[in-house]
Amino acid sequence: MKRGTLFSKLSKEITLAAKLGGGDADTNFRLRTAIQNARAQNMPNDNIERAIKKGTGEIESQAIEELTYEGYAPGGIAVLIEAATDNRNRTAAEIRHIFSKHNGNLATSGSVAYLFQKRGEILLPVTTASEEEILEVLLEAGADELEQEGEHYRIITPPDRLYSVAEALRNKGYTAETMKLTYVPENTVPVTDASVAEQVLHLCEALEENDDVQNVYANFDIPEELLARLTA
């Protein structure tokens, strides 16, 4: 993802967080999380402060709203998209165009959302502490899952416990690398055909590159060997 596109997405999340919960990161956990995620990507402090002031109204700007879009990728793969935009007509047209260009279809509201569960996700570097030490905190804080993925622990929580679990980790000195609300598919759809898999990946990548798209979720399951070949 281009740096400018990444910063645009991070700025919108900060602005939305400040708009909905105020500009004080000490009392607005969503804002604190957005700032932390922005700093992890080396976003300049000036950009962060400007985004906060847009949210609080200290700097005049066009209103940003959160929208959700649903659709299908090739192979019947369900796709759920979270967007943040100051022009819903432009965003809808651009997303529809991306789906059409990559042999997918933009669907009506409710078509695929039921196939996903909203969850909290926290990533911690494995160098933070041992799995047993992390697990001890998570059991008390009410997390659902802990698994190791490469150089990170991936922690899954109920959506309403994301911030309290992150705070429990923080109180123990374990700082999350990223934390966010996400959508996890109830079930995944195997994609073993290389052509279909390539089309699905290209569609998701094109959506993620759009400035107004914040997050893209899909329920495909591409075998690791095929995925490695396609992304090499």
- Eight-class DSSP state of 134: H
pLDDT range class, residue 97, cuts 50, 70, 90: very high
- In whole angstroms, give the CA distance from residue 184 to residue 12: 23
**pLDDT value of residue 3:** 81
Confidence check: pLDDT of 60 > 80: yes
Tens digit of each residue's pLDDT (9 = 90 or more) over 35-50:
988 998 899 999 999 9
pLDDT range class, residue 108, cuts 50, 70, 90: very high
Quick one: what percent of the chain has pLDDT higher than 90?
83
- In whole angstroms, give the CA distance from residue 88 to residue 152: 36
Q: Where are the alpha helices (DSSP H) in the chain?
A: 3-21, 29-40, 45-56, 88-101, 131-141, 162-171, 194-209, 224-231
**pLDDT value of residue 45:** 95
Confidence check: pLDDT of 83 > 80: yes
Structure tokens at 20: 């909905």
Q: At what angle do helices 88-101 and 194-209 cross, to 10 degrees?
A: 160
β-partners of residue 120 are 157, 181
**pLDDT value of residue 63:** 87
Residues whose CB falls within 8 Å of the CB of residue 41, separated by 6 or more in sequence, listed in order: 6, 7, 10
**pLDDT value of residue 22:** 94
Q: SS3 of 47, please?
A: helix
pTM of the model: 0.86
pLDDT range class, residue 33, cuts 50, 70, 90: confident
Tens digit of each residue's pLDDT (9 = 90 or more) over 18-29:
999 999 998 898
Count CA atoms closer than 13 A to 167's CA, side-chain side.
Answer: 12
Average pLDDT, the chain: 93
8 A C-beta contact, residue 212 and residue 97: no
Confidence check: pLDDT of 1 > 80: no
pLDDT range class, residue 232, cuts 50, 70, 90: confident
Domains of the chain plus CATH, in order, are: 3-56 (1.10.10.200), 65-113+187-231 (3.30.70.980), 115-185 (3.30.70.980)
- In whole angstroms, give the CA distance from residue 96 to residue 101: 9
8 A C-beta contact, residue 57 and residue 30: no
Strands 189-190 and 220-221, sheet pairing: parallel
